């Protein structure tokens, strides 16, 4: 099997890993940075966003051309680690902006009271209210991309395609599924949210995970590790995004990876950026948010993030039309039930 090229492996967000990342042209630094440089906007982000093949470098250059300001992208590892870092620095923030909080981690970010409200005229004009609603109503998190979670299936494996989450528990799929840890990975957390949205009753939820456990090959720490195992033939199924096969098609002309669409619906991930309270460069932070959702910046996302841009004026590449699946229904779980859902799922899978 032809694996993802190195370029393809590093194209995604959900966002989520601990591998070292090349230095960006405009000063990507590690989370050990203690002082922002005068006149720059410091943005905490996750490693795939600021990787060699992610959008960070391109966005930094375009932002500099547009505003004359420089961006310091600070790689904090995963989206979960971005939030943890910002919370730990709440009283004396180093960053101006945090990027990579999603609809599943948003409640924790809002509860920590680390963000300032910002009403961007650009956001009000171009962003679908449904996406905004996924992140709360306080204007503290501005969405910049989105996609739905899906099981990616290698159609060459000889197994029947699962038609629902319930089908994933069939013994025919023993050790055939790769998941990500919901405690360290936003796709991992998103999968738990998806399951919880379908199985609202505690007993049914627990029963699903008990049935799924024998079929899980591993629970990887992040998307990069998990999807990498998938492309190395370790298992024919992995949790990812409906847009993931578009990347394989675009760069490797692979057409045998398929995002499975379940009639019961799919959970959505909406990624967002927010301005930190007491940010050292709040004016620059606002300019960055406005630019991030502009057509110029958003046009850089489809072939680097492999997520849908929130700016609907952006024309999608042909690979999205050929290989990105479209869910028939969107489902969601209440943020209130998610901490318990994660504990239940991890407890069952860890036994």
Q: What is the pLDDT of residues 70-128, one digit of tens each?
A: 999 999 888 888 999 999 999 999 999 999 999 999 999 999 999 999 988 777 667 78
Provide the residue count of the chain: 351
pLDDT the model gives residue 32: 42
- Residue 194 CA: distances (Å) to CA of 108, 310, 317: 18, 21, 28
3-class secondary-structure state, position 105: coil
pLDDT the model gives residue 38: 55
pLDDT the model gives residue 205: 98
Round to whole Å and give the CA distance between 153 and 233: 11
Round to whole Å and give the CA distance between 162 and 134: 28
Q: What tokens were used for 43?
A: 């943005």
Q: Token pair 């962003």 is at which residue?
A: 127
pLDDT the model gives residue 80: 83
- Which residues of the chain register pLDDT less than 70? 1-38, 124-125, 137
pLDDT the model gives residue 55: 95
pLDDT the model gives residue 8: 39
pLDDT in tens, 200-242: 999 999 999 999 999 999 999 888 889 999 999 999 999 999 9
Cβ atoms 265, 333 nearer than 8 A: no
Q: What tokens were used for 209?
A: 């995970």
Round to whole Å and give the CA distance between 342 and 80: 14
pTM: 0.86
User: H or E segment at 206?
Assistant: helix 202-212
């Amino acid at each position: 099997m032809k694996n993802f090229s190195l370029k393809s492996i590093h194209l995604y967000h959900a966002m989520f890993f601990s591998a070292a990342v090349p230095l960006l042209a405009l000063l990507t630094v590690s989370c050990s940075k203690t002082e922002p440089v005068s006149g720059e906007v410091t943005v905490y982000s996750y490693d795939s966003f600021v990787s060699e093949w992610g959008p960070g470098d391109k966005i930094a250059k375009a932002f500099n051309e547009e505003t004359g300001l420089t961006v310091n992208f600070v790689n904090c590892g995963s989206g979960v680690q971005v939030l943890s870092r910002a919370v730990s620095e709440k009283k004396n923030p180093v960053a101006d902006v945090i990027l990579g909080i999603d609809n599943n981690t948003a409640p924790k970010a809002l509860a920590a009271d680390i963000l300032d409200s910002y009403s961007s005229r650009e956001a009000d004009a171009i962003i679908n209210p449904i996406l905004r609603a996924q992140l709360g109503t306080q204007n503290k998190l501005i969405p910049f991309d989105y996609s739905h979670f899906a099981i990616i299936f290698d159609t060459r494996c000889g197994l029947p395609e699962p038609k629902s989450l319930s089908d994933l528990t069939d013994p025919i799929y023993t050790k055939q599924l790769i998941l990500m840890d919901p405690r360290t990975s936003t796709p991992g957390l998103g999968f738990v949210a998806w399951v919880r949205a379908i199985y609202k009753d505690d007993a049914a939820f627990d029963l699903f995970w008990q049935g799924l456990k024998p079929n899980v090959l591993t629970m990887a720490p992040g998307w990069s590790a998990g999807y990498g195992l998938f492309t190395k033939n370790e298992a024919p199924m992995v949790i990812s995004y409906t847009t993931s096969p578009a990347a394989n098609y675009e760069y490797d002309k692979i057409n045998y990876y398929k995002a499975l669409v379940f009639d019961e619906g799919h959970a959505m991930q909406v990624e967002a950026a927010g301005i930190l309270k007491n940010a050292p460069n709040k004016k620059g932070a606002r300019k960055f948010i406005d630019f991030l959702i502009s057509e110029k910046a958003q046009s850089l996302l489809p072939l680097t993030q492999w997520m849908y841009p929130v700016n609907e004026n952006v024309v999608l590449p042909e690979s999205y039309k050929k290989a990105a699946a479209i869910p028939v229904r969107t489902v969601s779980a209440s943020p209130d039930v998610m901490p318990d859902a994660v504990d239940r799922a991890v407890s069952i899978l860890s036994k």
